Amino acid sequence: MTKLDELRNGIDEVDQKIIALLAQRFQYTEEVGIYKAENHLDSQDVSRENQQFQKIAKLSAQYGLNPAYASEIYRCIIDIVISRHEELLKSTCK
Ligand SMILES: C=C(O[C@@H]1C=C(C(=O)O)C=C[C@H]1O)C(=O)O
């Protein structure tokens, strides 16, 4: 096995963990979306997001990850969650 193959195997292992954890995170956010729709709460919560981004910056520093990368990735994830919450809100209103 070449050095490149070894490195790519490492990437594949990490990708599997990321996908498993993302699936778990989206299961929790789905439940939050259902709760919000049933209780007439806004899809987006900016104050919670600010807390999330502060936590993400700290964790990034702790793990040696560029905080700008983490912030960009989380902005995408949270935007997907908000869209899904809006969908759930619309389907609950019908
Ligand atoms: C999941 C929530 O809904 C939205 C998504 C968030 C997230 O994915 O972390 C955070 C805040 C909200 O804008 C929530 O309010 O907790």
Residue 18 burial (CB count, 10 A): 10
Per-residue confidence band for 92, with pLDDT thresholds at 50, 70 and 90 = confident
Assess whether the C-beta atom of 86 lies below 6 angstroms from ligand 1: no
**Any atom of ligand 1 within 6 Å of the Cβ of 52:** yes
| pLDDT, tens digit (0-9, with 9 covering 90-100), for 48-71 | 999 999 999 999 999 999 999 999
- CATH code (residue 15): 1.20.59.10
Ligand 1 centroid–CA 52 distance in Å is 9
Q: Ligand 1: which residue has its CA nearest to atom 4?
A: 44
How many whole angstroms from 15 Cα to the centroid of ligand 1?
23
Tens-digit pLDDT profile for residues 4-30:
999 999 999 999 999 999 999 999 999
Total domains, the chain: 1
Domain boundaries, position 28: 3-93
Q: How many Å apart are CA 39 and CA 43, to the nearest integer?
A: 11
